[in-house]
Structure 1
Amino acid sequence: MVQQVTSGIKISVVTNFEGTFYKNYKIHFAFGYNVTIENQSKDTVQLNNRRWTILDALNTVETVSGEGVIGLKPVLKHGESHTYSSGCLLTSPFGAMKGYYSMVNFTTTKKFNVAIPTFKLSAPFAIN
């Protein structure tokens, strides 16, 4: 598990390898990840957007951005958390992801970014 706190918002990520499959005559490695967003600040906040950078061992970089997470824009009061699961496909057995969530503080109405710590993706059979 990797964790990081930015502006009182704690992000925790746990990853897992889901398996391999062929798509368009290429092997793909499927990874899942669970993210917990915990509001440790004294204010109420809302997650509005996300931006991910996905890297693989073949130096392929993909950027993904959009509204909310899995179709939701969670509002978190002090002490509340939101957990969701998602995944990605790589064309190599190793990679990493990092990014940030764009949030708004309901008390101050200020927008701010919360770092998603870099987490590694690795197929267990490929680990030495």
Structure 2
Amino acid sequence: MMTSPYFEMTNDIELRVTPMFLSEFSAPEQREYAFVYKVELQNNYDDDIQLLSKQIIIRDGNKEQYTLEFEDVNDEQACIPAGEMYDYTTYCPLETPTGSLRGSMTVMSLSSNEVFEVNIPLVFFRTELKIDAITEPQEFIPLALSV
């Protein structure tokens, strides 16, 4: 797993989030700040799990808060075998140079069908955490923010 200051462990499921500022996709004069964040989930639980959904709470530097609910995680309901890792990178546009993200993922144990929440750690977005180029070509689709 990559080193990240943002870490949470729930039911032996380790979640790390690494945010990055994308200066080349930002326009501060138009109050547009582009951030991406990489999520790494390590399944140390004693069973295979399935990611069912996630809820994200985004707060910008003006303390405007948005809650986003998804019926999947990264456009799928992935199954992660015990001992394996799952990761994805996603996009978060903000109107301020700082902000935060927190939330949870709903997960199901595949042998017992037990459903539980895995916490997404509180993550801070700051413009000084930046990358100058995208190392892997990906299409970034802005999240539709809703109040």
The answer to whether the superposition gives a TM-score over 0.5 is yes
Does 1:49 find its partner at 2:53?
yes
| Matching residue of 1:98 | 102
**Counterpart residue number, 1:86:** 90
Correspondence for 2:35 among 31, 37, 50: 31
**How many residues get paired?**
123
Cα deviation per residue 1:80-104 (whole Å; 9 max; x = unaligned)?
A: 1111000111111011100000011
TM-score, normalised with respect to structure 1:
0.90
**Is 2:33 the partner of 1:18?**
no
Q: CA deviation at 1:114?
A: 0.3
- Moved >4 Å (runs of 4+): none
**Deviations for 1:41-70, whole angstroms, at most 9, x for unmatched residues?**
111110010100000110110111112222
How far apart, in 1, do the equivalents of 2:27 and 2:91 lie?
14
Structure 1: distance between partners of 2:49 and 2:35: 29
In structure 1, distance between residues paired with 2:45 and 2:15: 13
CA root-mean-square deviation: 1.5
Deviation (angstroms), 1:3: 1.0
Report the Cα distance in structure 2 between the residues aligned to 1:100 and 1:81, rounded to whole angstroms.
17
Gaps of 5+ in 2: 130-147
Unmatched 5+ residue regions in structure 1?
A: none
Letter in 1 for 2:53: N
Shift of 1:123: 0.5
One-letter amino acid of the counterpart of residue 77, structure 2: K
**Aligned-partner Cα distance in 2 for 1:124–1:26:** 18
Aligned AA for 2:119? A
Counterpart-to-counterpart distance in 1, 2:108 and 2:73: 15
Indicate which of 98, 109, 112 corresponds to 1:108: 112
| 1:87 aligned partner, one-letter code | Y
Give the letter aligned to residue 124 of structure 1: E
Give the drift of 1:78. 1.0
